Every structure is written in C-alpha cells, then in structure tokens.
Amino acid sequence: MKPLALFFALALASVHAQTPSPAIPRTADGKPDFSGIYQWPTYLPGDERGHSNATTFDRKNFAPLKPNGETFLEPRTGDARHDEPRDFCMPAGFPGGILSGNAMQFFQTKNYLVMVHEFQRMTRIIPLDGRPHREGLEPMYYGDPVGHWDGDTLVIETTNFKRWALDDYYYTNPKEFRMHSDAFRTVEKLRWKSKTALYYEISIDDPKIFARPWSQEFEIVAKPEWETAGLYEYVCEENNRCPGGKCESK
Amino acid sequence: MKRLLLFALLALAVALPLFAHHSFAAEFDDQKPIKMTGTIVRVEWQNPHIWFYLDIKNPDGTTTTWGFAGGAPGQLMRRGIMKDRLKIGETVVVEGFRAKDGSNNGSGGRLTFPDGRMVLTAGSQDRVPPQSTLSKP
C-alpha cells in the first residue's frame, strides 16, 4: 500500500509540475492571458494614500535621492502651462496615465499585449516576441516598451521617455510637482494573483534622480461586467472649458 | 433597506479617495466650497468632463446661469449615472467648488435630486465637499 501511495503522490507531483495551473486564463500556447477589461491599478489593501498632497507614488517607497536629485521637484511657477500641462490636454504619459481612475482593456496575441486606457485613450503596444527596444527614436511620453515572460509573470521594460510628470493627478502639492528625467526607465510585473485580480508592480529606475530603483505594488481588478459597455470614447479637447483656471464662456 | 445601506457604503468607498484631478487643481478653488439650488437648463455630456448648467435665482430676484463640471462621461456611466439622469427643467442641489477665475462656473461634485437621492457626479480624482451618504442613481 505504501509504495502505491508513494507512486500516486509522485505522479500527482509530476502532473502538478508539468501542467500549468488551470485556475488562470491562458492563451493557446499556454501563456497567461490578460485579455479583458479592468479597473485602473489601485492600491493594495492597507496601503491607501493619505489625505493631503496625496500621490500615486508614496514618498515612503522612494529610494534615496542622489546629490542634485532634488531637480525632479519642479517648483510650480503660477503659469498653468508649466505647472499642469495636462490641464491643456497634453498627454498624461506613463506611468501617470495608467493610474488615472478610468477603465482599461487589454488585448493579447502571441506577439503583443495591447493596453488601452479609457483616459485620453492611452494605448500601449507591448511586443512579446523578444525583440529589442527600437533605436533612433525621439524620447516619448509613454516610452518604448518590450515584454518578456518570467514563468507566469509578464515583465515589461520601458525606456526612451522624455522628461515628464512622474505623478498622476492625485499629486497636488501646491508648491511643486515631480518629474522623472530622460534617463527614466520602468519595469512592470504583471501576473494573475487570483481569478479576478492581477498583481501589478511598477519599478522606477531613474539614475539621474534616485540612488537605486524602487517599486510600488498595485492590484488590477478584472471587471467583466464592464465588457458590454466596453470602453467609452475620450477626446480631451472636446469640451475642456476651464484650462488653467480660465473658463471659456458658453 | 439593507441593499440601500450596502450601496451607500459602496458609494462612499468609491467617493473616499477623491483628490484633485488635473482640471480640478488647476481650475477650481478647494477653499471656496459652494452649495447651490437651481434648475437644469443644459447638459454637455462630453470629455474631459461633463458640464451641466443651472439657472440660479439671485437674492434680488434675477436669474444667473451657472456652469458646473463633473467627471468624465465614462466615469459617471460606470457608476450608473447616464445622461438622461440629468433632466432639463429639474431642480437640483449642486455641491462643489468655485472656479478659480471667479466666473459663474464651478465643479459639480455632488447632485441632490428632488426625490432626495444624492449622487456623486465628480470625477474619480476630483475633490468633493464632505458628505455622509449617497443614493443609487
């Protein structure tokens, strides 16, 4: 009886090791499938933002600043075009845009993951086929992402950003806002943490500002009930009535 | 009643992490809260924010049309607030903050309808005056 039990135990262990967990959605080639509609990335329970000068990126998670790293604290000047260009429908950029409080939809094929965020209709096309970053391009608001698989985790490395706001609109310090430099790069990790939610981590690496990379964790909750309506159109220029605090008359 | 309570709690949970949106910080003065009653005369169900306009009676008997910005249409629709919830001719109470330029504009974070139902019309990152409960749209 004992050898039989051992056999079954070994067989079971072998099956377990060879067969990917069936609990998560998978593509035909066995990769985790992130296709679906989701809520924007939210904080992990117990890690909610505070109530003043709240921001996506919690100061307590920051790596130490390098000497002269304070340059990423950009003083507000009172000129709205400098202080909040997004108020004039300029791009939110990454990672600020993806953290905006709107729905997003992911489409996955063998070679691409496409993330479409309702806010500003931000679209990220992430190659999954192992190609390197593109070369010779001007720095971008959303950078140049490439993805690769680490087991069931999708790792997305994004480079070639232009200097732009690090934070999303939650950061409302009246004296300054925070910018990443043009040396900024991000590493995101995405995996299913349950049947209904993704684990999502953004690592910030900005060697002109921080002494080392640092990261913040989020959760992305699946919202299949939003599939019927899908994403709504978002054209920021359509009716942006009070840009910079000067309301256009109607 | 239990369902209503649950909804109120859920609505509150949605409402709690409300801070300034890009437009909010740049456009509205969070030191100047407003609460006004008026009749809906126009609704613009457009991005980046819905705008609705109320005819508001002044103490001297004249009427002024005020404009109020809410959240993005998509944010409201996922909360169950569709465009036809804001009916022309209906009298509502709006709560929000005045425009920075002192014009007859403001943020319209919360609306109370004649039947007493109160809904959150703010964007997910807009500031809203403190509230106790919200109703189902």
The alpha-helical segments, DSSP class H, found in B16-102 are 22-27, 73-78
**Segment among A55-69, A100-114, B63-77 with least mean pLDDT:** A55-69
**Which of A173, A179, A176 minimizes the C-alpha distance to A161?**
A179
Task: Tell whether A242 is within 8 A of chain B (Cβ).
Answer: yes
Confidence category of residue B3, pLDDT binned at 50, 70, 90: low
Structure tokens at A214: 């640092």
Report CB contact under 8 Å: A249, B21: no
CATH class of domain segment(s) B2-120: mainly beta
Whether residue A62 contacts residue A214, with contact meaning beta carbons closer than 8 Å, is answered with yes
Question: Above 50 in pLDDT, residue B21?
Answer: no
pLDDT level of residue B133 (50, 70, 90 thresholds): low
Q: How far apart are alpha carbons B130 and B16 in whole angstroms?
A: 9
Q: In whole angstroms, what is the distance from residue B127 CA to residue A49 CA?
A: 14
Counting Cβ atoms within 10 Å, is residue A76 exposed (0-12), middle (13-18) or buried (19+)? middle
CA distance A28 to A78: 54
Average pLDDT of chain A, as a whole number? 87
Q: Is A223 exposed, middle or buried (0-12, 13-18, 19+ CB in 10 A)?
A: middle
* Three-class DSSP category at A86: helix
Q: What is the pLDDT of residue A23?
A: 87
Q: Is the peptide bond before B48 cis (omega within 30 degrees of 0)?
A: yes
Amino acid (1-letter code) at residue A155: V
Q: Enumerate the domain spans of chain A.
A: 23-233
Cα diameter, chain A: 86
Report residue A169's pLDDT band, with 50, 70 and 90 as the boundaries. confident
Q: How far apart are CA A173 and CA B25, in angstroms?
A: 10
* Chain B residues closer than 8 Å to A232 by CB: 72-74, 77
Q: How far apart are CA A108 and CA A33, in angstroms?
A: 7
The CATH architecture that domain A23-233 belongs to is Beta Barrel (2.40)
Residue A10 half-sphere exposure, CB side, CA atoms within 13 Å?
A: 6
Tell which residue, B137, B132, B100, has the closest CA to residue B20: B100
CB contacts of B21 in chain A (<8 Å) are: 169
Residue in B51, B73, B103 closest to A232 by CB: B73
Interface residue A90 vs chain B (CB under 8 A): no
Q: Is B51 on the interface with A (CB under 8 A)?
A: yes
Cβ pair A232:B23 closer than 8 A: no
**Nearest chain B residue (CA) to A49:** B17
Q: Summarize the confidence of residues A68-81 as an average pLDDT.
A: 89
Test A243 with B20 for CB contact under 8 angstroms: no
Domain ranges of chain B: 2-120
Query: B3 CB contacts (<8 Å, ≥6 apart)?
Result: none
Q: How confident is the model at residue B15 (pLDDT cuts 50, 70, 90)?
A: very low
Residue of B28, B47, B83 to mutate, interface with A, max A Cβ within 10 Å: B47
Structure tokens belonging to residue A140 = 């971008």
pLDDT digits over A87-137, tens only?
A: 899 999 999 899 888 899 999 999 999 999 999 999 999 999 999 999 999
- CB of B46 within 8 Å of a chain A CB? The answer is yes
Rounded to two decimals, the ipTM of the complex is 0.80
Nearest to A147 by CA among A133, A139, A157, A138: A157
Q: For residues A113 and A155, give the distance between their C-alpha atoms in angstroms, rounded to a whole number.
A: 11
* pLDDT at residue A202 is higher than 50: yes
B48/A239 Cβ within 8 A: yes
Contact status, residue A185 vs residue A1, Cβ threshold 8 Å: no
Q: Give pTM, 2 decimals.
A: 0.84
